[in-house]
């Protein structure tokens, strides 16, 4: 006898939509709603973790993007805005906050005084590392219900979807 799979709230959502719309694909809807729910969960958990350190998600995102730049981890505000997928005005606000917290500096480029260089401070590096460590723990907890083989399988399937979107 086949084991009955445990139901989640998405199954109820899918069933309501299946009854309402002809041609509805419950597997597509279920997968996309679950991906969205996982994403929201991780974002909320990370926001809580970053909040414990006095960082908002935007500040963490900016520090993270800056600190994954090639050594010496510096860039311009415009390049940082592009990498974070935000407007230059939004980046200015983010940088103002990070400068206020003493996590980054903004200095004129000695080779071109019209150009501004953003650099992390030691305090910025330290708080980013703490936030990253908290995020890693929470992210592992999120996927902790899966075996290593299931995580590999999930990644392979998601990779196929992402590659399909990139073409």
- Measured between alpha carbons, how far is 26 from 13 in angstroms, rounded to an integer? 10
Is 65 buried (19+), middle (13-18) or exposed (0-12) by CB count in 10 A? Answer: buried
All domains of the chain, ordered by start, with CATH? 24-139 (1.10.10.10)
Q: What is the structure's pLDDT at 71?
A: 87
Is 119 buried (19+), middle (13-18) or exposed (0-12) by CB count in 10 A? Answer: middle
Q: What is the structure's pLDDT at 21?
A: 87
Query: Whose structure tokens read 């415009």?
Result: 78
Q: What is the structure's pLDDT at 3?
A: 61
Q: What is the structure's pLDDT at 122?
A: 97
- Measured between alpha carbons, how far is 63 from 118 in angstroms, rounded to an integer? 10
* Cβ atoms 103, 60 nearer than 8 A: no
- Segments of the chain scoring below 50 in pLDDT: 1
Write the DSSP symbol of residue 113: E
Q: What is the structure's pLDDT at 128?
A: 96
Q: What is the structure's pLDDT at 24?
A: 86
Q: What is the DSSP string of 29-49?
A: HHHHHHHHHHHHHHHHHHHHH
* Cβ atoms 104, 91 nearer than 8 A: no
Torsions phi, psi for 70 (to 5 deg)? -60, 150
Write out pLDDT tens, residues 53-90.
Answer: 999 999 999 999 999 988 888 999 999 999 999 999 99
Is 84 buried (19+), middle (13-18) or exposed (0-12) by CB count in 10 A? Answer: middle
């Amino acid at each position: 006898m086949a084991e009955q799979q445990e139901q989640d709230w998405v199954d109820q959502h899918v069933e309501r939509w299946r009854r309402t719309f002809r041609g509805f694909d419950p597997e597509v809807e279920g997968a996309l709603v679950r991906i969205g729910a996982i994403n929201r969960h991780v974002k909320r958990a990370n926001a809580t973790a970053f909040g414990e350190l006095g960082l908002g998600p935007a500040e963490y995102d900016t520090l993270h993007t800056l600190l994954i730049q090639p050594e010496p981890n510096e860039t311009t505000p415009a390049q940082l805005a592009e990498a974070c997928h935000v407007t230059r005005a939004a980046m200015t606000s983010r940088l103002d906050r990070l400068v206020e917290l003493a996590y980054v500096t903004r200095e004129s480029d000695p080779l071109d005084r019209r150009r501004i260089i953003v650099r992390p401070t030691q305090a910025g590096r330290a708080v980013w590392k703490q936030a990253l460590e908290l995020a890693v723990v929470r992210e592992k907890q999120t996927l902790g219900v899966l075996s290593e083989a299931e995580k590999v399988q999930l990644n392979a399937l998601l990779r196929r979807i992402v590659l399909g979107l990139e073409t």
